[in-house]
A and B are shown apart, each in its own frame.
Chain A
């Protein structure tokens, strides 16, 4: 737990340093002409506070080392979370190529059948019904087109029918 706390605080320090580097592209000091701080001042000094505070968290962890010995992740949790996050990343990465109507059913199929261990019946109902609902809710009612990628040509007859 203490190690994880330190790593996260270090990560936040790195992130804030990166923010500060970006913000310093704009004036970060006091601008005498307009009266007030420059455009980069707000993000720069806020990130500086994050940097210092995260540093304090690390210092504190050395001063009173009360490690409960409890791991930050237990093996089982870590495995499930990493799997789900990977599945989400693959789904989003697939969106521009195969479109929402293939990527999302694939995600549901994996999540319900493989990850959740449900039967084929339930899996099939949800996997097939969700894209139909999405199409009618977003595309037909709200007129918001979801990404289609290579499947775009198959939707042309549907557009003609519903728009």
Chain B
């Protein structure tokens, strides 16, 4: 019952006219960003973050969460109309969404995607509401040793489950952590890693600079080569009769959608997994459990509903560890976390005690954002069809300008703008060579926490390293981390021993 009281208070915040307006603006912006091929939620949040100084912190985070949400809905639009996923999270939507559009059922596919996203979002926000307080209570018992072990675990999930090249993942984690140490030493206050004696490095490297560089400049450089030719947009008409028919069809898909939502929510909580694998897994499960798997890939309506529920559920799921533990579940939530720290809000269990208004305002705004997103999505479909015809070079030029100016605005130092360009080019080259970007950004955001908790523990334990293993919770986290680190090694050994049968591949 206490929960409902908190939630009611939260709605008091999120239903304020300013916040409602912000939610609508955020989801609309998010829908457009998500619909643009090449730009996803993480790019949207990175580019818009510096512009959020215009509103108070609690509204700013609502705006960013709404963009995050909208982008998840929007990714499906270009998957269906262009056959190109609007964001990596919508890859699985192309499998059946594109064939549906080619059969002249683009309208139905868009309706399915929007409604399925709404169902996935709503179920996962309910789960979020239920799990948030208990998890924050558990996290209250965490000391620095547990914090360190948990951050380590977050990184090791990338190594064990990330699916990218293990060596390259390790490099990116260490690079992010090393970059986070630039500036003043946390304990002794001595300057360190002041490259070329530039005074700009004394204040460290802001996560925003890296994020705008990698996800703004780097991402657009990456899309320049893939977007040379203008794609053909499938026209989509939407009538109320189709809407009614669509909702009736979707009503038959409850099993697929609830499965997808639960799956998405729990997969989304893992730092290394997130919305893209969740959507692919959900698609696979829907195909396995259906009686007519042969329709999949040829325009099955379940094939659109399953991944769309899962990717929206995953985006809510990844907010849970970020708010309750201070460990983001995805690169986008890592940026939200960085933003919150910038505004003086420290995510983690204490937030639930010290800033209940903020926490519950944000949680309740997820409900309003969901509703707003489905309404805006359905209402603006003709506009999206038109916007997808926009030449890509116009979008690129504007994003570049926003990156440069947005990168300058928070600190007002040209030093940061130069760093953004450098990170953009460096990130582009690394990404082209298959180095994963998510662990890099996560490591830069979590680096200071990791180093601080590590050294705090050692100081309080008089240098006893075993302290991390002796405490039950942190010991468990460390053991899990070790298991994730060893997982790829075991796989590798297995492949070596069983070389004869796999040699044929």
Interface of A toward B, CB cutoff 8 Å: 4-5, 8, 12, 16, 19, 22-23, 25-26, 30, 32, 34-40, 42-43, 46-47, 49-50, 53-54, 56-57, 60, 72, 74, 76-77, 80-81, 84-85, 88-89, 91-92, 95-96, 100, 104, 107-108, 111-112, 115-118, 122, 126, 130, 134, 137-138, 141-142, 144-147
Question: Is the pair B394, A92 in contact by a Cβ cutoff of 8 Å?
Answer: no
Residues of A within 8 A of B409 (CB): 138, 142, 144
Question: Is the pair B428, A47 in contact by a Cβ cutoff of 8 Å?
Answer: no
B181 located at the interface, meaning its Cβ lies under 8 Å from any Cβ of chain A in the complex: yes
**Interface 0/1 of B147-179, CB less than 8 Å to A:** 000000000000000000001101100110110
A37 to B452, CA, bound (A): 11
A40 to B418, CA, bound (A): 26
A16 to B394, CA, bound (A): 38
Q: How far is the CB of B233 from chain A (nearest CB, A)?
A: 19
Residues of A within 8 A of B425 (CB): 85
- With contacts A54-B171, A81-B221, A111-B393 taken as known, whether A39 is within 8 angstroms of B421 at the C-beta atoms is no
B412 located at the interface, meaning its Cβ lies under 8 Å from any Cβ of chain A in the complex: yes
Question: Is the pair A146, B405 in contact by a Cβ cutoff of 8 Å?
Answer: yes
Question: Is the pair A19, B224 in contact by a Cβ cutoff of 8 Å?
Answer: no
Interface of B is mostly: helix
Residues of A within 8 A of B194 (CB): 22
A26 to B184, CA, bound (A): 11
B138 located at the interface, meaning its Cβ lies under 8 Å from any Cβ of chain A in the complex: no
Considering residues A60, A84, A146, which has the most beta carbons from chain B within 10 angstroms of its beta carbon? A84
Question: Is the pair B167, A35 in contact by a Cβ cutoff of 8 Å?
Answer: no
Question: Is the pair B400, A81 in contact by a Cβ cutoff of 8 Å?
Answer: no
A60 to B428, CA, bound (A): 23
B238 located at the interface, meaning its Cβ lies under 8 Å from any Cβ of chain A in the complex: no
- With contacts A54-B171, A60-B167, A104-B405 taken as known, whether A26 is within 8 angstroms of B190 at the C-beta atoms is yes
* Closest B residue by C-beta to A138: B409
Q: How far is the CB of A16 from chain B (nearest CB, A)?
A: 8
- With contacts A107-B400, A142-B53 taken as known, whether A95 is within 8 angstroms of B192 at the C-beta atoms is no
* Closest B residue by C-beta to A7: B433
Residues of A within 8 A of B175 (CB): 12, 50
**Extra 5 A-B pairs, beta carbons < 8 Å, given A53-B174, A126-B398, A137-B54:** A32-B463, A42-B181, A88-B424, A95-B414, A95-B417
B9 located at the interface, meaning its Cβ lies under 8 Å from any Cβ of chain A in the complex: no
Question: Is the pair A100, B405 in contact by a Cβ cutoff of 8 Å?
Answer: yes
Question: Is the pair A80, B225 in contact by a Cβ cutoff of 8 Å?
Answer: yes
**Interface 0/1 of B392-403, CB less than 8 Å to A:** 011011101100
Question: Is the pair B404, A104 in contact by a Cβ cutoff of 8 Å?
Answer: yes
